[in-house]
A and B are shown apart, each in its own frame.
Chain A
Amino acid sequence: MPGSPLFYLYKPYFQLLVNHHSMKILVVDDERDVQTLFEQRFRKEMKSGEMQFNFAFSGEEALQFLTDHNQEAVLILSDINMPGMSGLELLKRIKQEHHEPPPVVMMITAYGDAENYNQATQLGADDFLTKPVDFTILKEKLKSIH
């Protein structure tokens, strides 16, 4: 996955966008335990200030956050299958409404199938992760953005 062609395609683009001191990441998932998991998985990075995480538990909440915080988050990790606004709908809205600078959106989904992949790619997703999330891979991806 770190070798994913999509990732390398966007790599220079990622590097331009990223704040040099702290990378701001918004995680969107309807499962609340995702927050605990990320806080533990990235506790070193959070402690050192290398990365900053925010959490939204629905697509609607994520859009609200982006509006309220003037697009502080430069990287958005979103689940696809959520009640209410789906991850794909969120992706579409982000790509349509939040232009400058365009945030990088990585989709996390339980279905690693081609249909979802293609649809999200068409909507402008920058990369993909499948559940169960391999945090070693995710970390490598995030760190190479840095």
Chain B
Amino acid sequence: MNPQFQYILDLIQQSQLSDADRTALENAVKEADKQYEIINFKLDRTEKVKRTTAILLEETIAELELKRKAVEESNDALQKSLEELKAAQQQLIQSEKMASLGELTAGIAHEIQNPLNFVNNFSDVSKELLDEMKVELEKGNMEDAREIANDVIQNLEKILHHGKRADSIVKGMLQHSRSGSGEKELTDLNNLVDECLRLSYHGMRAKDKSFNAKTDSSLDAGLPQIKIVSQDIGRVLLNLFTNAFYSVLQKKKNADGNYEPLVSAKTILESGKVKIIVEDNGIGIPQRVIEKIFQPFFTTKPTGEGTGLGLSMSYDIITKGHNGELQVETKEGEFARFTIILPI
């Protein structure tokens, strides 16, 4: 018994109270002591629970901290892989550019050999002419000398002309392969369409020399200049033309002698928008794949021949990059018509 209660009990026992009163008081003290014991026990138990809870709480906090760290780490890892993905995407874009450039290289080589042929030969022949002119001058044949001088002047003009021609071809090529975001600039679309058609035509011819296709362009002279990233739109056009030539080439392989491959380009100004239409009379696109053609990595070409990125990138360039539309109409075995619609 608690000493305080014991003391009270001793005092009661020594008191002058009646037996009945004393017994009642003694019982009350004993009862109080019993209650006190119970409360003490409960308090002790609560203390224990409190300690356990505190320990649990600490453990939980430690665990949470670990989890937070784990989340942070996986966040970092995700961020890193996102950056890697972005870099990989950039690389893919670049390799797609290089792939389409590769297709065009032979065409460009042909385009550049012709002006070079003239530059080399006209300069060489001019040297000969000047030697001859010296002879004529020594002989006093002024008339002949003057004639030769005129020829040399004409040749120098030709050298300059063909030098510039080679220069513009190389510039066009560099523009096509350059990476990074280009600025939107006022561009003559008809020029761009014509240039891309010629470039992909020569690229196709270089790949398969026995093949020939008719090209036809109907360019609206009233087209206003519009603000575009010309190297991006150029890539879209090269892609569409290269596809068109590929398609007529495939059809020609299995067609009889009456098939005349034709790739055409058209520009029109219609209700305040510019339309560029690229059409071919090749193999067309089967209905079952039409939904997929703008998806990345979708290609019907044999492995190693297509990246499957051409049309998906074209779609992004037109819709996201230029707020335009890229539409397709086709009939399998007959034709494919791609229409680019750009706001002015």
Given contact pairs A131-B113, A131-B114, A40 touches B151 in the complex (Cβ within 8 A): yes
Bound Cα distance from A115 to B158, whole angstroms: 32
Query: Contacts A33-B162, A40-B155: A131 and B117 contacting too (C-beta < 8 A)?
Result: yes
Q: Chain A: which residue is nearest B107 at the CB level?
A: A81
Q: Does A98 contact B (CB under 8 A)?
A: no
- In contact, B209 and A31 (Cβ under 8 angstroms): no
Interface residue? B129 (CB, 8 A): yes
Enumerate the 6 nearest inter-chain pairs by beta-carbon distance, A residue then B residue, closest first. A110-B113, A132-B117, A132-B120, A110-B110, A131-B117, A131-B113
A9 proximity list for chain B (CB < 8 A): none
User: From residue 35 to 65 of chain A, which have CB atoms closer than 8 A to chain B?
Assistant: 36-37, 40-41
Size of the B side of the interface (Cβ < 8 Å), in residues, is 25
**A131 and B115 alpha carbons, distance in the complex (Å):** 10
- Asked if A37 and B116 sit within 8 Å, CB to CB, the answer is no
How far is the CB of A125 from the nearest CB of chain B, in Å? 13
In the bound complex, what is the Cα–Cα distance between A115 and B209 (angstroms)?
Answer: 9
Q: List 30 A-B contacts (CB under 8 A).
A: A31-B118, A33-B162, A36-B158, A37-B121, A40-B125, A40-B129, A40-B155, A81-B110, A81-B202, A81-B205, A85-B212, A86-B205, A88-B209, A110-B109, A110-B114, A110-B117, A111-B106, A111-B109, A111-B209, A115-B209, A116-B209, A119-B210, A131-B113, A131-B116, A132-B113, A132-B116, A132-B120, A132-B121, A135-B121, A135-B124
Question: Among residues 92 to 128 in chain A, which have CB atoms less than 8 Å away from a CB atom of chain B?
Answer: 110-111, 115-116, 119
Is B158 a contact partner of A33 (Cβ separation < 8 A)? Answer: yes
Contact status A88-B120, CB under 8 Å: no
Q: Which residues of B contact A36 (CB under 8 A)?
A: 154, 158
Q: Does B226 contact A (CB under 8 A)?
A: no
Q: Which residues of B contact A40 (CB under 8 A)?
A: 122, 125, 129, 151, 155
| Chain A interface residues toward B at CB < 8 A | 31, 33, 36-37, 40-41, 80-81, 84-86, 88-89, 110-111, 115-116, 119, 131-133, 135
Q: Are B114 and A37 in contact (CB under 8 A)?
A: no
Whether the pair A133, B121 counts as a contact (CB closer than 8 A) is: yes
The B interface, classified by DSSP as helix, strand, loop or mixed, is helix
Closest to B119 in A: A132
| Cβ-neighbour of B212 out of A41, A84, A111 (below 8 A) | A84
Of A33, A84, A88, A131, which is within 8 A of B210 by CB?
A88
Q: Which residue of A lies closest to B121 (CB)?
A: A37
The complex places the Cα of A81 from the Cα of B113 at a distance, in Å, of: 11
Complex CA gap A85/B210 in Å reads 10
* Chain A residues closer than 8 Å to B122, beta-carbon distance: 37, 40
B206: Cβ under 8 A from any A Cβ? yes
Q: Determine the distance from Cα of A60 to Cα of B152 in the docked complex, in whole angstroms.
A: 32
What A residues does B212 contact at CB under 8 A? 84-86, 89
From B110, B118, B202, B206, give the contact of A37 (CB < 8 A).
B118
B 197-235 to A, binary, CB cutoff 8 A, 1 in contact else 0:
000001001100110100000000000000000000000
In the assembled complex, the Cα of A74 lies from the Cα of B68 at a distance in Å of: 89
CB pair A86–B209 under 8 Å, yes or no, is yes
Min Cβ gap A44→B in Å is 9
Q: How far is the CA of A64 from the CA of B293 in the complex (A)?
A: 46
Contact of A111 among B151, B158, B162, B206 (CB under 8 A): B206
Provide the residues of chain A in CB contact with B154, threshold 8 Å: 36
